[in-house]
A and B are shown apart, each in its own frame.
Chain A
Amino acid sequence: MIRFENVGLRYGMGPEILRDVSFHIAPKSFQFLTGPSGAGKTSLLRLLFMALRPTRGLITAFGKDITSITPRELPLLRRRMGVVFQDFRLLDHLTTYENVALPHRVRGKDESSYRTDVIELLKWVGLGERIHVLPPVLSGGEKQRAAIARALIDQPQVLLADEPTGNVDPPLARRLLRLFMELNNSGTAVVIATHDLTLMDQVDARRMILNGGKLEIYD
């Protein structure tokens, strides 16, 4: 589904952040992306999400070379991916419900067609009582769950999550992990960037470890 071949990345004239990175995210797969802080996890996720272009090497997403994707095609490919940002990226002037419903809204769907789904998902992630609250009022964990719900709402083919349990307590982290696994069981490939070893120990999944810009994979 997404394939990296000898991908290298550097910012400006700085050193290479990623070197000769090659891997394949298969449909319905589940993997953790880990490594020490500053190893390049977020940069790798940004490459996966086509928010960055590689300095060298080849990235193909859904069968297309990302360097040849036109601006018109890009949103259509992004709709097949869900992303949970480390800093949540919720819009502060929209309620939790409106933030989670945003992917549907930008696709031009009528609100009556997704209202029930959004409310059910919000209840599922434990935000049933916070539907009409604005993000500045939410706690870090609540923002995290709202961001996850927004990434999941349109049932993406791949979910990319950057430290999705970084702001939640262990019981909620386990619950969110269970959510990701259920999503994976229903056919979505999942990539979770984390350095939470406890979280990774709970699932027997592929581990992609970034160190010094090189990627090692343990299936």
Chain B
Amino acid sequence: MTDVKTTHATNFKRYRRRFAENFGFGDETAPAAIVPEGNLAGNALVFVIAIMTFLASLTIGAVSIVRDTATTWQSQISREATIQIKPADNFDIEAALIKARDLASGMAGVRDAKVVDIEDTKRLLEPWLGTDFDVASLPVPRLVIVTIDPSSPPDFAVMRKTVTKAIPNSNVDDHRNWVDRLIKMARTMVILGVGVLVLVMAATALAVVFATRGAMSGNGDIIEVLHFVGAEAKFIARQFRNRFLLNGIKGALAGGFAAILVFFLVGIWSSYNLATPEGNQANALFGTFSIGRDGYLGVLAIIALVAVLTAETTRLTVIGYLHRMDNISGMHS
């Protein structure tokens, strides 16, 4: 038992030293990391990575909000249908409304049907006509709101046929036109958002690649010395990859969490402003200003992607440098 403990302790100590040798921290007694920590170019790299990760995370969060909001609009509107009944001479509109309601509520796939009474109709018209008017004196169509079971919606063609046959001056609106337009708009917005995201990600990748290569260019002497003392290419590449992976993680975490913080603060701000007219409008458009689980996962994926991109660029830069060194001939140098 003691032997096992000793072996574990020795292995752990060795692991700590290896970690410290590779990353430059974790064990004060370990030799210094072969690739030194932070110079000016290295710090600039961390900033570039942080800024680009921040922008990419904001974009992915915005795309996530647009997609979620579009889905919400779509599902809310497709949950209802409306029966409109137009007034006419010698026509008992109230009886027609009740008839329409009964017909609709008796159909399969309808959860509820409700007549919009005269007071509610008046309230609907208030923004345009004010409070001082007589609804009965105007040829205003009256409505029956039909709540639909979204999992098994009714056959609207049959509903339309049945209702218009029973009440000739009625019209069944299943909001299909609206839903189709919204779906189109939502899809366009998501495609645009994804397009912007692709551009931002491409810019992030290029900025990270060039900043990494810039930071690497000051380390040529270290690569040469390691090469001449017999280090294998993969050993040298690993030393640099580990060092720059740390820079990548630092920058990506800073940028990603700054973006998450922005979304969090805007979410809090919008919930405090729900009662104001501006807040109502924003809420109607975007729902609660939250990027949701997918948005957060997207930001975390960007952090990981940027860190891996930095490490991989470093590895390829070192391999390329070594390749050029090994192929130096008098003729081509």
- Which residues of chain A have a CB within 8 Å of any CB of chain B? 9-12, 17, 43, 49, 51-55, 71-72, 74-76, 78-79, 83, 85, 89-91, 93-95, 98, 101-103, 105-108, 110-111, 150, 154
B92-118 residues with Cβ-Cβ distance < 8 A to A are none
Contact check, A106 vs B231: say whether CB atoms are below 8 A apart: yes
Are B330 and A54 touching (Cβ within 8 A)? yes
Residue numbers in B under 8 Å from A85 (CB-CB): 228
B32 within 8 Å of A by Cβ? yes
Q: How does the 8 Å CB contact mask read for B296-333 relative to A, with 1 for contact and 0 for none?
A: 00000000000000000000000000110111111111
Contact of B230 among A11, A52, A103 (CB under 8 A): A103
Contact A53/B330 with A71-B323, A91-B222, A106-B226 known, Cβ cut-off 8 Å:
yes
B14 CB contacts on chain A under 8 angstroms: 110
Measured between alpha carbons, how far is A174 from B25 in the docked complex, in Å? 42
Q: Which residues of B contact A54 (CB under 8 A)?
A: 329-330
Given contacts A91-B222, A101-B31, A105-B34, contact A51 B228 (CB under 8 A): yes
Other contacts beyond A53-B327, A106-B229: 11, CB < 8 A: A51-B228, A71-B322, A75-B227, A75-B232, A90-B225, A95-B32, A101-B31, A106-B231, A107-B230, A110-B14, A111-B31
Q: B193-206 CB contact bits vs A (8 Å, 1 = yes)?
A: 00000000000000
Are B17's CB and A111's CB within 8 A? yes
A103 touches B333 (CB 8 A): no
Task: Kindly supply a per-residue 1/0 record for chain B positions 226-262, scoring 1 wherever the CB is within 8 Å of any chain A CB and 0 otherwise.
Answer: 1111111101000000000000000000000000000
Given A10-B330, A53-B328, A110-B14: A89 and B31 within 8 A (CB)? no
Which 8 A-B pairs rank lowest in CB-CB distance, beginning with the nearest? A106-B231, A53-B329, A79-B230, A9-B330, A93-B36, A78-B230, A55-B330, A103-B229
- Contacts A94-B32, A105-B34 given; does A49 touch B329 at CB 8 Å: no
Tell whether A93 pairs with B330 under 8 Å between CB atoms, given A51-B228, A78-B228: no
- Given A83-B228, A89-B228, A93-B32, residue A75 in contact with residue B233 (CB < 8 A): yes
